[in-house]
Structure formats: C-alpha cells, structure tokens
Amino acid sequence: MDDAIGRDRTVAVVGTGTMGQGIAQVALAAGHPVRLYDSAPGRAAEAVAAIGARLDRLVEKGRMDAAGREAAAGRLHAAADLAELADAALVVEAIVEDLSVKQRLFADLEKTVGDDALLATNTSSLSVTAIAGGLRLPGRFVGLHFFNPAPLLPLVEVVRGFATDETAATRAYETVKAWGKTPVRCADTPGFLVNRIARPFYAEAFRVLEEGGADPATIDAVLRESGGFRMGPFELTDLIGQDVNEAVTRSVWDSFFQDPKFTPSLAQRRLVESGRHGRKTGHGWFSYAEGAERPEPHTAPPAKAPERITVRGDLGPAEPLVGLFEAAGITVRRKKGEGFVDLPGGVRLSLVDGESSFEYHQEEIVYFDLALDYAAAGRIALSAREGIAPEALAEAVGLFQALGKQVSVIGDVPGMIVGRTVAMLVDLAVDAVDRGVATAEDVDTAMRLGVNYPAGPLEWAEKVGHRRLCALLRQLHERYATGRYAPAVGLVRRGYTEEAEELR
C-alpha cells in the first residue's frame, strides 16, 4: 500500500532559511509543486532564486538535465501570504526555534489548510507534542527532522508526538521515503534519536580531558584510529560550533530533568564563555589561525616487542589480536585463565574493563582500549598506573607496535577512551529501544546515517557483548557514583541473558 502523498499534490515550506530551502529542494526534486512562505519580506523570493541557482549547479555537474531543471523551476513559487498555502497536502515548518512562535504559526496554518493536510515541524530540540499542544487536530501533526544539508543527507527522523495518529506518522514516513530519504520512526523524546544517543560521544571525551587522561589531539586520534569514528569529538565540535553543540547538550539535559547521563561539560562551558566557538571564530579546542598547526597526538617512541607471550583464556572482543600477534612472529602460548595476556617482564595486559590500574597492588597491569576492529586499527591506547616501571610499560608498547600500530599511552582513567564512549552509547541506545522510542534497527540506522558512526550502537553491543559493557559501566558507576554510569536496566538484563545462553 502506498501511503505517500501524491507527487501532484502541493508541499508548502514555511521558513525559508538554511533548512527550509534544503527541504523545499528535496520535495521539488521528488516532483511536487512547492510553495514557499517566509515572514521576512522578500525572503521567500530570495529562496526561490537560491534554489534555482542550486538546480543550475546540478545541471552543470550533469546530475540533472536542463528540461528537468525548467520543469522543477516551474513548480516552485513564493507565497506572499499564508492563505496561498491553502491547497497544500503537507506543510513543513522550518522557522525560528521558538516554541510560542511555532505554536502561533500552526494555529494560523490550521485555519488555512484543509483538515486532511499533514502538518510537520523540522524542530531539532523542541517537543513535537508541545508545538501541537493547542491544535484542533493534533493527530495530523508530526516531526520531520531533516539534517543539514537536507538535499545531501539521507536521514529523516519521523517523530510521533503524544497525539499523532498512526496514519499521519505512516503517511509522513512513506512520503519522505518516496523522496529518496531514509526515514526512521521515533517517539517524541528530547533530542529524538541522534541528538539523544550521541551525547556521550562528546561528553566522555571531554571528561577524559578534564580528568587529565589525555589531550584533545590524542583523544581524537584514538577515537578515529581505534574507534573507527570518522572524526574525533574535539575536531567535530569545532566544526559544528561549541556554542551549538553545547546548546543541544544543555537542551537534552534540561529536558531529561537534569539526568546525570546527560550532564554537560565544564571544560566546554569555559570554551563557550571564552568565545572560542570553533572554526567559525578561528579558535575552539584547536586554533584555526593562519599558519596554526594541529597538535600531534601523543605517540609512544619505538619499543622492543616481547618474543613470546602467554594468553590466558579468551580475550573476548580482542581475541582477533591473538592471530595478529602470531602473524607478527610472536610466540603465543595459551593457558586457562580469565582473559589476560601475560608478558615476560611480568606485566599483565587486560582489555579495558572500567577498573583503574592503581587498584592492583600485586602486579603491574596495563590496560588496552577497545577497538572497532583490531586488525584495521591504526592506533591503540594503553593506560597504566603512575610509577609503573618504564621497561614494563615499554614491553606492552612494543607488543602493539609489532602489529604495525601506533600506541598512545594515556593516563589511568577508568574505562579509557573508546571503552567508556562505546559503553555509554550502547547504554543510551538500549534504553531508548526498551522505552519504545524506536526499534533497534532504526536506532542503528539513525546513528550510522545521522552522525556517521562506523557501526550502530546495538550492532556494536552484539560484537563486544552486553555483559562486558554492563560490567564496564558498573565499574565506572562504582568509581564516579553520580548515577551517570548506572547501567540501564535493559543492558543489565541483556547481560544476564547472554550469560545464561553461554552457560546453556
């Protein structure tokens, strides 16, 4: 059954700034007649011209033919008045992010369009339910959260407000799908899917910095080269704008009644206060002044690899390392045990588990961080307690260098960098699924397409194991005790289920 709005029906876009123009272009390319309205005089006509210029560029690049461009331009009109939107089958609002202004606009629109028209908001941080709160027919109201730039980015979050009818949500979903987008369905929750679940990607990195674990360049490098993320959180927030990124964090935190899972960062607060908003101001975490060089990540100097090691038990998600060690010519002996690597000099190597090295009095323990794919990782982070014998640490460094990897030795921060980041992303993702915000599949799609994650958090959790991630969070919870790291009930449950299946 095709529930999408017919291509012959008019789509209206109200608010013709960055997002409105992008959304209008998408609807136009899909074949709809499109009408634009903006309250600032002349702005809608400017948008018509700007979209026309963008279509011209598509023709120049050979991505659209001249006849298609003419036809599209013929379907695009500026409206001088809201009344001209009367026959729209769908109105997408992309005006200023202000609840009362949006509410007023929709009250006017409700008097203008037919009762069967769909009404949608592109809000990124307001409650869809609140915007629709005063409407006569809130059932036909949805959130359609496009990402910037809308013509290029495939993801659209289709948000059901408290009063949204299932038929309206399905119609909106099928319509954006027919436009060539990848829609995901989600309930009306602070930050929707992407902005809710992505918070720890930034917050954990900022915490590692605040705790003196590593500097921004090193944390970025570890998340890129070991975590597989396209960009590190420091460089990414410099691109987004520290003010914009912090505003999203604060809005989600406030909307969750200041739940510690979403607590903003003091280090980022200071950056915003100082006016260092990122690339756009010439300075953020990094400097963008003329000639400024990006600091290099800390990388350990070359060290000698041990000739033989003992692997005790199964290394879990780090098990592929064993084959890599052997391929590098290191003799590996296997013995029973709880998943450690013993080095000849007496160091015990362990995959990050949320504990701190200083808690081990008897032996020298060195932690290595989680990697998305140990074979592909270009860098591995290690952490050891202060005062560890340099030769002991060097042996661990040499072991990973023998695999052709760079090594960053970071401070003794529980959960390290990738470990705590992934555990928190999984925690929030699992919690969103269990609360019915979205399906597991949609959560993973949203994170892969909305923020370019190399794997969806739920898919990642399957690889690492829920029990292991839950145990890591429990260790962090014990050490920080703010509630931030208390594992979600659903993560605990999945951990037990996994254990029960293994015992069977």
The residues binding ligand NAI (CB under 6 A) are 14-20, 38-40, 43, 94-97, 101, 105, 122-124, 146, 148
202 Ramachandran zone, left/alpha/beta (phi>0; psi -120 to 50): alpha
**Quick one: 137 or 153, whose CB is closer to ligand NAI?**
153
**Quick one: 191 or 414, whose CB is closer to ligand NAI?**
191
Tokens linked to 138: 């809130």
Provide, rounded to whole angstroms, the least separation between the CB of residue 78 and ligand NAI.
12
**Quick one: 94 or 118, whose CB is closer to ligand NAI?**
94
Residue 127 annotated as catalytic: no
Q: Which residues pair with 294 in a beta bridge?
A: none
Which is it for strands 90-93 and 347-351: parallel, antiparallel or unpaired? unpaired
Report the amino acid identity of residue 499. E
Catalytic-labelled residue, pool 32, 77, 145, 277: 145
CA separation for the pair 415, 423 (Å, rounded): 9
Catalytic-labelled residue, pool 157, 204, 395, 459: 157
Provide, rounded to whole angstroms, the least separation between the CB of residue 118 and ligand NAI.
17
Provide, rounded to whole angstroms, the least separation between the CB of residue 179 and ligand NAI.
16
Residue 195 annotated as catalytic: yes
Which letter, b or e, does each residue of 229-242 get, where b requires 16 or more Cβ atoms within 10 Å of its Cβ? Answer: bebbbbbbbbebbb
First to last CA, the chain: 44
CA separation for the pair 19, 451 (Å, rounded): 17
Provide, rounded to whole angstroms, the least separation between the CB of residue 192 and ligand NAI.
10
Helix (H, G, I), strand (E, B) or coil at 196: helix
Residue 124 annotated as catalytic: yes
Tokens linked to 116: 């069967």
Whether the Cβ atoms of residue 160 and residue 153 lie closer than 8 Å to each other: no
**Quick one: 64 or 86, whose CB is closer to ligand NAI?**
86
Provide, rounded to whole angstroms, the least separation between the CB of residue 122 and ligand NAI.
4
List CB contacts of 24: < 8 A, sequence separation 6 or more. Answer: 11, 13, 16, 34, 36, 47, 51, 76
364-368: strand order across its sheet = 331-335, 308-312, 340-342, 347-351, 364-368, 379-384, 406-410
Q: How distant, in Å, are the alpha carbons of 201, 238, 271, 475, 485 from that of 264?
A: 12, 16, 12, 21, 14
Provide, rounded to whole angstroms, the least separation between the CB of residue 301 and ligand NAI.
43
Residue 32 annotated as catalytic: no
CA separation for the pair 36, 75 (Å, rounded): 11
Q: How distant, in Å, are the alpha carbons of 201, 242, 384 from that of 65?
A: 42, 40, 61
Report the amino acid identity of residue 165. D
**Quick one: 122 or 129, whose CB is closer to ligand NAI?**
122
φ, ψ for residue 129, nearest 5 deg = -60, -40
**Quick one: 135 or 366, whose CB is closer to ligand NAI?**
135
**Quick one: 79 or 382, whose CB is closer to ligand NAI?**
79
Q: How distant, in Å, are the alpha carbons of 275, 438, 443, 496 from that of 432?
A: 34, 7, 8, 19
CA separation for the pair 79, 359 (Å, rounded): 68
Provide, rounded to whole angstroms, the least separation between the CB of residue 49 and ligand NAI.
14
**Quick one: 16 or 401, whose CB is closer to ligand NAI?**
16
CA separation for the pair 198, 147 (Å, rounded): 14
Catalytic-labelled residue, pool 32, 93, 124, 466: 124
**Quick one: 16 or 25, whose CB is closer to ligand NAI?**
16
Shortest-Cβ-distance residue relative to ligand NAI:
17
Provide, rounded to whole angstroms, the least separation between the CB of residue 140 and ligand NAI.
19
Provide, rounded to whole angstroms, the least separation between the CB of residue 188 and ligand NAI.
15
* Residues forming the active site: 124, 145, 157, 195
